């Protein structure tokens, strides 16, 4: 399993926990170090504004990626796309290299199922 796969699995696992506990989630981040270790990051906003939290995490990503030991950083957000609930993942390799992946999901009681990337 490569770093991106490991990171996406961790993001989906955390999203599942949040969705089961609260039915939604605020933006959060995770990054992978060269040794494969994962670090989870959250942001705080008194207004609980998701955009503000995302911006805090993005600024942190750029700072953290200055550490050459960090391979890839991801920010996860809960969203809607074409009428579907989705997990939006921004993969950040550097300030110039960002990719977005969107995964629809369904929640049925204690189960969350992620679909193929759209």
Judge whether 117 lies within some domain: no
User: Given a cut of 80, is residue 47 above it in pLDDT?
Assistant: no
Q: Which two tokens stand for residue 97?
A: 């290299």
pLDDT at 94: 87
DSSP, collapsed to helix, strand or coil, labels residue 109 as coil
User: Given a cut of 80, is residue 44 above it in pLDDT?
Assistant: no
**In 1-118, which ranges are E strands?**
28-33, 38-42, 70-81, 84-94, 97-108, 111-114
Judge whether 16 lies within some domain: yes
Buried b (16+ CB within 10 A) or exposed e, 1-10: eeebebbbeb
User: Given a cut of 90, is residue 109 above it in pLDDT?
Assistant: no
Structural domain span for residue 87:
3-110
Judge whether 67 lies within some domain: yes
Our count of domains for the chain comes to 1
State what percent of residues in the chain have pLDDT above 90. 71
Judge whether 115 lies within some domain: no
CA distance linking residue 64 with residue 41, whole number of Å = 11
């Amino acid at each position: 399993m490569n770093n991106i796969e490991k990171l996406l699995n961790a993001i989906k696992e955390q999203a599942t926990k949040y969705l089961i506990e609260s039915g939604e989630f605020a933006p959060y981040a995770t990054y992978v170090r060269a040794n494969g270790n994962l670090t989870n990051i959250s942001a705080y906003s008194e207004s609980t504004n998701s955009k503000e939290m995302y911006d805090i995490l993005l600024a942190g990503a750029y700072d953290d990626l200055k550490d050459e030991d960090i391979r890839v950083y991801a920010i996860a957000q809960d969203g809607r796309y074409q009428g579907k609930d989705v997990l939006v993942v921004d993969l950040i390799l550097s300030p110039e290299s960002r990719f977005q992946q969107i995964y629809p999901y369904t929640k049925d009681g204690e189960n969350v199922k992620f679909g193929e990337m759209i």
